[in-house]
Amino acid sequence: MKILLLGAGGFVGSHLVEHLIARGQHDVVGVDVAEDKLEGIAGPRFSFHVADIRCNPELIDRLIRDADLVVDLVAYANPSMYVSAPLEVFDLNFIQNLEIARRCMAHRRRLIQYSSAEIYGKAGTGAVCHEDTTDSVLGAVGKHRWIYATGKLLLERVLHAHGAAGDLEYTIVRPFNFLGSRIDYLVPAGAMGGPRVFPHFISALLSGGPIRLVNGGHVHRTFLHIEDANQAFQTLLDHPAETRNQIFNIGNPDNNVTIRDLAALMVQLYEELTGEPPVSRVEHVEGERFYGPGYEDGDRLPPDISKLTRLGWRPRYDLVTTLRETMQAYLESGAKTAPAEPNMTAVHSAPA
């Protein structure tokens, strides 16, 4: 089978490329505007195009036509951008991704679309988030942070409607906070805004800067080892009939933790891994000060993963192992952050 991975140069994409190369069963074609995370990752059945999906319609159309399966990972997944550039987030995460789905329909190609656990929004009722029964509870329109979730949710609804009309064969993935090497990018000590929580905390530990807890760090998240995420993807590949036109949570409900406890655990693991206590201290910061006006957060329930475990997948890595292995990868790579910024200006970067 020939698999086209759009967004192959990102965190999830680069790990999927490694996984697929190691399995050696498929031809893999990657597309991304960035290729630095693919450094050193190569194989005879892997080819890569540095290309922007927005600017190369003929190339993307040809690659979709020539593929058996399209995996769409392209998105802005940077919380600062949700409030600072909501229209760019909507354009890439909804309009451009819809265009990919339309090309899949035109060529009758199967699509695996990466959506997000964010579509559940603020924790609703119930004990867990179930793919087919849990409501989405998103914040007020003026709280632009929710444009990411809104765009992802609308895309899911459109794919679902096309599937019901018989136009499209799709599978939707809702990741619940994957963790592993190459996630986002490191930020200078004291930086505000920018990437997701783990890169912030590991940056702080590496640089000796403050570990900033947004709004007290009271919200819960579950974290999944990237290797478990790869195996979940493999389960989708291995069960095309059962996963056809279905939505799957991919996460580890047992690795549920508040962000405050995540910070404490990372401090503890840093000391265990380096033999020295970190210089970094925990500091509290308001969400809108850290990310910008329009930011809001919500608690999240753990995922119900029974749909995928019924197909044989089961997460293997507990929270401590997931964090330890991810932190170890950063410590071993000698990753460095830039020195402290005196006025702590917002740092956010499009993943280009």
Ligand X SMILES: NC(=O)c1ccc[n+]([C@@H]2O[C@H](COP(=O)([O-])OP(=O)(O)OC[C@H]3O[C@@H](n4cnc5c(N)ncnc54)[C@H](O)[C@@H]3O)[C@@H](O)[C@H]2O)c1
Q: Does 4 participate in binding ligand X (rule CB under 6 A)?
A: no
Length of the chain: 352
Q: Does 351 participate in binding ligand X (rule CB under 6 A)?
A: yes
Indicate the angle between helix axes 97-107 and 57-66, nearest 10 degrees: 50
Q: Which helix (H) or strand (E) holds 167?
A: none
Nearest to 216 by CA among 279, 289, 283: 283
Among the listed ranges 19-27, 41-49, 110-118, 320-328, the one in contact with ligand X (CB under 6 A) is 110-118
Cβ-based nearer residue to ligand X, 11 or 291: 11
Q: Residue 54 CB, nearest distance to ligand X (Å)?
A: 5
Q: Does 79 participate in binding ligand X (rule CB under 6 A)?
A: no
What is the C-alpha to C-alpha distance for residues 17 and 206, in angstroms, rounded to an integer?
A: 28
Catalytic residue among 76, 148, 270, 330: 148
- Span 186-245, contacts to ligand X by CB under 6 A: none
Residue 84 corresponds to which tokens in the numbers above?
């600072």
Cβ-based nearer residue to ligand X, 53 or 259: 53
Cβ-based nearer residue to ligand X, 231 or 289: 231
Query: Is-contact 179 15, C-beta < 8 A?
Result: no
Answer yes or no: 114 catalytic. Answer: no
Q: Does 73 participate in binding ligand X (rule CB under 6 A)?
A: yes
What is the C-alpha to C-alpha distance for residues 285 and 330, in angstroms, rounded to an integer?
A: 25
Q: Does 11 participate in binding ligand X (rule CB under 6 A)?
A: yes
Q: Residue 115 CB, nearest distance to ligand X (Å)?
A: 7
Cβ count within 10 A of residue 288: 16
From candidates 5, 20, 28, 53, binder to ligand X by CB under 6 A: 53
Per-residue contact string for residues 157-196; x = within reach of ligand X by CB under 6 A: ------------------x-xx------------------
Nearest to 79 by CA among 44, 105, 116: 116
Query: Is-contact 3 71, C-beta < 8 A?
Result: yes
DSSP code string of 131-166: TTTPPPB---TT-GGGHHHHHHHHHHHHHHHHHHHT
List interacting residues with ligand X (CB under 6 A): 7, 9-13, 31-34, 52-54, 73-75, 77, 92, 114, 116-117, 175, 177-178, 351-352
| Catalytic annotation, residues | 148
